[in-house]
Amino acid sequence: MNVFVSRPTWLHESFRQGLDVFLTRLNDLDLIPHTLGATDYPTKAPLDEVIQLLDKCRGAVILGYPQIEIEAGSLRDRRIEARILLPTEWNHIEAGLAYARRLPLLVIHHIGIARGIFDRGALNSFLFERDLQDPTWAVGEDISGAIRSWRDNVLGFAPTPQPQRNTVYEGLEKNKNIVWTVQATGRRIADSRPAGGHRESAECRIEELTEYYARIRILASDLFVTIPLGDIVISFDDKRHRPMIELRA
Protein backbone atom coordinates (compact mmCIF):
# COMPACT_ATOMS: atom_id res chain seq x y z
CA MET A 1 0.00 0.00 0.00
CA ASN A 2 1.43 3.37 -1.05
CA VAL A 3 2.00 6.13 1.50
CA PHE A 4 3.49 9.56 0.98
CA VAL A 5 6.47 10.68 3.07
CA SER A 6 7.10 14.43 3.12
CA ARG A 7 10.75 15.09 3.91
CA PRO A 8 13.65 17.04 2.44
CA THR A 9 15.83 15.33 -0.15
CA TRP A 10 18.93 16.74 1.57
CA LEU A 11 19.60 15.67 5.14
CA HIS A 12 22.60 16.12 7.41
CA GLU A 13 24.35 12.79 7.86
CA SER A 14 23.43 12.72 11.56
CA PHE A 15 19.75 12.20 10.64
CA ARG A 16 20.24 9.46 8.06
CA GLN A 17 20.32 6.38 10.27
CA GLY A 18 17.11 7.25 12.12
CA LEU A 19 15.32 7.93 8.84
CA ASP A 20 16.47 4.60 7.39
CA VAL A 21 15.13 2.78 10.46
CA PHE A 22 11.77 4.55 10.11
CA LEU A 23 11.46 3.73 6.39
CA THR A 24 12.35 0.11 7.11
CA ARG A 25 9.55 0.00 9.69
CA LEU A 26 7.08 1.22 7.07
CA ASN A 27 8.21 -1.46 4.63
CA ASP A 28 7.89 -4.11 7.34
CA LEU A 29 4.24 -3.05 7.74
CA ASP A 30 3.67 -3.51 3.96
CA LEU A 31 3.58 0.24 3.43
CA ILE A 32 5.54 1.55 0.45
CA PRO A 33 6.94 5.06 1.11
CA HIS A 34 7.05 7.57 -1.75
CA THR A 35 8.94 10.88 -1.70
CA LEU A 36 9.37 13.18 -4.67
CA GLY A 37 13.08 13.48 -5.44
CA ALA A 38 14.02 10.41 -3.37
CA THR A 39 11.91 7.46 -4.57
CA ASP A 40 9.97 9.18 -7.36
CA TYR A 41 11.52 11.67 -9.76
CA PRO A 42 9.67 14.51 -11.50
CA THR A 43 9.22 14.78 -15.25
CA LYS A 44 7.11 17.96 -15.02
CA ALA A 45 6.44 20.76 -12.53
CA PRO A 46 7.13 19.45 -8.97
CA LEU A 47 3.77 20.60 -7.59
CA ASP A 48 1.90 18.71 -10.32
CA GLU A 49 3.99 15.63 -9.54
CA VAL A 50 3.19 15.87 -5.81
CA ILE A 51 -0.54 16.09 -6.59
CA GLN A 52 -0.34 13.03 -8.86
CA LEU A 53 1.68 11.09 -6.29
CA LEU A 54 -0.72 11.89 -3.45
CA ASP A 55 -3.61 10.62 -5.56
CA LYS A 56 -1.93 7.18 -5.52
CA CYS A 57 -1.37 7.11 -1.74
CA ARG A 58 -3.60 6.08 1.16
CA GLY A 59 -1.81 8.00 3.93
CA ALA A 60 0.92 10.56 4.54
CA VAL A 61 3.79 11.06 6.97
CA ILE A 62 5.20 14.55 7.53
CA LEU A 63 8.78 14.53 8.85
CA GLY A 64 10.07 17.93 9.94
CA TYR A 65 13.87 18.08 9.68
CA PRO A 66 15.95 21.25 10.16
CA GLN A 67 16.72 22.98 6.88
CA ILE A 68 17.04 26.63 7.90
CA GLU A 69 18.50 27.97 11.15
CA ILE A 70 17.89 31.62 12.07
CA GLU A 71 19.95 33.10 14.90
CA ALA A 72 19.52 36.83 14.30
CA GLY A 73 16.90 39.03 12.74
CA SER A 74 13.30 39.88 13.47
CA LEU A 75 9.96 38.12 13.42
CA ARG A 76 7.22 40.59 12.56
CA ASP A 77 8.17 43.57 14.73
CA ARG A 78 10.20 41.73 17.37
CA ARG A 79 13.87 40.85 17.41
CA ILE A 80 14.68 37.13 17.54
CA GLU A 81 15.92 36.23 21.01
CA ALA A 82 16.42 32.48 20.51
CA ARG A 83 17.34 30.57 17.38
CA ILE A 84 14.53 29.37 15.14
CA LEU A 85 14.67 26.06 13.24
CA LEU A 86 12.59 25.83 10.08
CA PRO A 87 11.81 22.77 7.96
CA THR A 88 11.58 22.55 4.19
CA GLU A 89 8.69 24.64 2.86
CA TRP A 90 7.50 21.53 1.01
CA ASN A 91 6.42 20.04 4.35
CA HIS A 92 3.70 22.70 4.54
CA ILE A 93 2.65 22.36 0.90
CA GLU A 94 2.52 18.56 0.96
CA ALA A 95 0.79 18.41 4.35
CA GLY A 96 -1.86 20.86 3.14
CA LEU A 97 -2.52 18.82 0.00
CA ALA A 98 -2.70 15.57 1.99
CA TYR A 99 -4.98 17.16 4.59
CA ALA A 100 -7.33 18.45 1.87
CA ARG A 101 -7.60 14.85 0.60
CA ARG A 102 -8.40 13.70 4.16
CA LEU A 103 -5.49 11.26 4.08
CA PRO A 104 -4.56 9.84 7.50
CA LEU A 105 -1.62 11.92 8.73
CA LEU A 106 1.32 11.12 11.00
CA VAL A 107 3.36 14.22 11.87
CA ILE A 108 6.79 13.94 13.53
CA HIS A 109 9.35 16.73 13.83
CA HIS A 110 12.79 17.32 15.25
CA ILE A 111 13.14 19.19 18.54
CA GLY A 112 12.80 22.93 17.99
CA ILE A 113 11.16 22.83 14.55
CA ALA A 114 8.39 25.41 14.52
CA ARG A 115 5.83 27.38 12.52
CA GLY A 116 3.23 26.39 9.96
CA ILE A 117 1.91 22.87 10.29
CA PHE A 118 4.31 22.24 13.17
CA ASP A 119 2.47 24.72 15.40
CA ARG A 120 0.12 23.06 17.86
CA GLY A 121 -3.46 23.13 16.64
CA ALA A 122 -2.65 23.81 12.98
CA LEU A 123 -3.68 20.28 12.00
CA ASN A 124 -6.25 17.90 13.39
CA SER A 125 -3.43 15.45 14.08
CA PHE A 126 -1.18 14.84 17.08
CA LEU A 127 2.37 16.15 16.70
CA PHE A 128 5.34 14.14 17.89
CA GLU A 129 8.50 16.05 18.77
CA ARG A 130 11.60 13.85 18.92
CA ASP A 131 15.37 14.05 18.58
CA LEU A 132 15.54 12.80 15.00
CA GLN A 133 19.32 12.53 15.30
CA ASP A 134 18.76 9.61 17.69
CA PRO A 135 19.03 6.52 15.45
CA THR A 136 16.46 4.70 17.63
CA TRP A 137 13.72 7.35 17.57
CA ALA A 138 11.48 5.27 15.31
CA VAL A 139 11.41 2.27 17.67
CA GLY A 140 10.32 4.10 20.83
CA GLU A 141 7.15 2.81 22.46
CA ASP A 142 5.05 5.92 21.81
CA ILE A 143 6.18 6.29 18.18
CA SER A 144 5.60 2.57 17.59
CA GLY A 145 2.08 2.91 18.95
CA ALA A 146 1.44 5.98 16.80
CA ILE A 147 2.67 4.16 13.69
CA ARG A 148 0.35 1.21 14.38
CA SER A 149 -2.67 3.46 14.97
CA TRP A 150 -1.88 5.48 11.85
CA ARG A 151 -1.50 2.26 9.81
CA ASP A 152 -4.95 1.09 10.99
CA ASN A 153 -6.38 4.39 9.71
CA VAL A 154 -4.52 3.96 6.41
CA LEU A 155 -5.96 0.45 5.98
CA GLY A 156 -9.46 1.78 6.64
CA PHE A 157 -9.13 4.83 4.42
CA ALA A 158 -11.63 5.01 1.56
CA PRO A 159 -10.43 7.53 -1.02
CA THR A 160 -12.96 9.83 -2.65
CA PRO A 161 -13.65 8.61 -6.19
CA GLN A 162 -11.71 10.62 -8.72
CA PRO A 163 -13.88 12.85 -10.92
CA GLN A 164 -13.90 12.16 -14.62
CA ARG A 165 -11.00 13.74 -16.43
CA ASN A 166 -11.65 17.14 -17.97
CA THR A 167 -12.91 16.68 -21.55
CA VAL A 168 -10.67 19.54 -22.72
CA TYR A 169 -7.67 17.70 -21.27
CA GLU A 170 -8.68 14.53 -23.11
CA GLY A 171 -9.07 16.39 -26.40
CA LEU A 172 -5.68 18.07 -26.08
CA GLU A 173 -3.98 14.87 -24.95
CA LYS A 174 -5.32 12.90 -27.91
CA ASN A 175 -3.66 15.23 -30.43
CA LYS A 176 -0.84 16.53 -28.27
CA ASN A 177 1.98 15.91 -30.74
CA ILE A 178 0.59 17.65 -33.82
CA VAL A 179 0.37 21.27 -34.97
CA TRP A 180 -2.75 23.12 -33.76
CA THR A 181 -4.36 26.39 -34.69
CA VAL A 182 -4.82 28.71 -31.71
CA GLN A 183 -7.39 31.46 -32.16
CA ALA A 184 -8.22 34.30 -29.78
CA THR A 185 -11.34 36.42 -30.19
CA GLY A 186 -11.92 39.51 -28.06
CA ARG A 187 -8.53 38.99 -26.42
CA ARG A 188 -4.91 38.27 -27.31
CA ILE A 189 -3.36 34.82 -27.29
CA ALA A 190 -0.75 35.82 -24.71
CA ASP A 191 -3.05 38.02 -22.61
CA SER A 192 -6.39 36.89 -21.14
CA ARG A 193 -7.68 40.43 -20.57
CA PRO A 194 -10.58 41.50 -22.83
CA ALA A 195 -9.40 43.37 -25.93
CA GLY A 196 -12.55 44.59 -27.66
CA GLY A 197 -12.76 43.47 -31.28
CA HIS A 198 -9.24 42.04 -31.36
CA ARG A 199 -8.84 38.73 -33.20
CA GLU A 200 -5.72 36.73 -33.94
CA SER A 201 -4.67 33.20 -34.78
CA ALA A 202 -1.41 31.30 -35.06
CA GLU A 203 0.11 27.85 -35.39
CA CYS A 204 1.20 26.22 -32.14
CA ARG A 205 2.32 23.04 -30.49
CA ILE A 206 1.42 21.78 -27.02
CA GLU A 207 4.66 21.66 -25.02
CA GLU A 208 3.21 20.75 -21.61
CA LEU A 209 -0.21 19.55 -20.49
CA THR A 210 -1.59 19.10 -16.97
CA GLU A 211 -5.13 18.76 -15.68
CA TYR A 212 -5.06 22.48 -14.90
CA TYR A 213 -3.30 24.20 -17.79
CA ALA A 214 -1.75 23.79 -21.24
CA ARG A 215 1.57 25.38 -22.17
CA ILE A 216 1.80 26.07 -25.89
CA ARG A 217 4.59 27.31 -28.16
CA ILE A 218 3.68 29.76 -30.93
CA LEU A 219 5.68 28.46 -33.89
CA ALA A 220 6.15 31.75 -35.74
CA SER A 221 7.62 33.63 -32.74
CA ASP A 222 8.78 30.77 -30.48
CA LEU A 223 6.71 32.41 -27.71
CA PHE A 224 5.52 30.17 -24.86
CA VAL A 225 2.05 30.81 -23.41
CA THR A 226 0.42 29.09 -20.41
CA ILE A 227 -3.38 28.82 -20.67
CA PRO A 228 -5.80 27.52 -18.00
CA LEU A 229 -7.94 24.68 -19.37
CA GLY A 230 -11.04 26.66 -18.40
CA ASP A 231 -10.14 29.25 -21.06
CA ILE A 232 -10.01 26.68 -23.86
CA VAL A 233 -12.69 25.46 -26.25
CA ILE A 234 -11.59 22.74 -28.68
CA SER A 235 -12.93 23.01 -32.22
CA PHE A 236 -11.71 22.33 -35.74
CA ASP A 237 -9.97 24.60 -38.24
CA ASP A 238 -11.82 23.76 -41.49
CA LYS A 239 -9.52 25.92 -43.60
CA ARG A 240 -6.30 24.18 -42.47
CA HIS A 241 -7.87 20.79 -41.67
CA ARG A 242 -6.54 20.47 -38.12
CA PRO A 243 -7.78 20.85 -34.54
CA MET A 244 -8.11 24.34 -33.10
CA ILE A 245 -7.78 25.86 -29.63
CA GLU A 246 -10.26 28.71 -29.22
CA LEU A 247 -9.55 31.10 -26.38
CA ARG A 248 -12.35 32.72 -24.44
CA ALA A 249 -12.16 36.42 -23.60
66-124: per-residue pLDDT in tens?
998 888 888 777 887 778 889 999 999 999 999 999 999 999 999 999 889 998 878 87
3-56: per-residue pLDDT in tens?
999 999 999 999 999 999 999 999 999 999 999 888 888 777 889 899 989 999
Cβ proximity of 249 and 195 under 8 Å: yes
pLDDT at position 163, please?
57
pLDDT at position 78, please?
82
pLDDT at position 164, please?
56
pLDDT at position 165, please?
60
Mean pLDDT of 55-72: 92
CA 44 to chain centre: 11
Start-to-end Cα distance in the chain: 45
pLDDT at position 177, please?
92
pLDDT at position 90, please?
94
153-176: per-residue pLDDT in tens?
998 887 666 555 678 999 999 999
pLDDT at position 105, please?
94
Cβ proximity of 97 and 105 under 8 Å: no
> Vertex 82, ends 79 and 87: CA angle to 5°?
100
pLDDT at position 211, please?
84
Mean pLDDT of 148-152: 92
Residue with the larger pLDDT of the pair 79 and 179: 179
Cβ proximity of 37 and 156 under 8 Å: no
* Strand ranges, E, within the chain: 2-6, 32-34, 60-64, 68-70, 74-75, 78-79, 84-86, 105-110, 127-130, 180-185, 199-209, 213-218, 223-228, 232-237, 242-247
Separation CA 32–CA 127 (nearest Å)? 22
Specify the pTM: 0.64
Separation CA 108–CA 130 (nearest Å)? 7
Structural domains of the chain ordered from first start: 2-155 (3.40.50.450), 167-247 (no CATH)
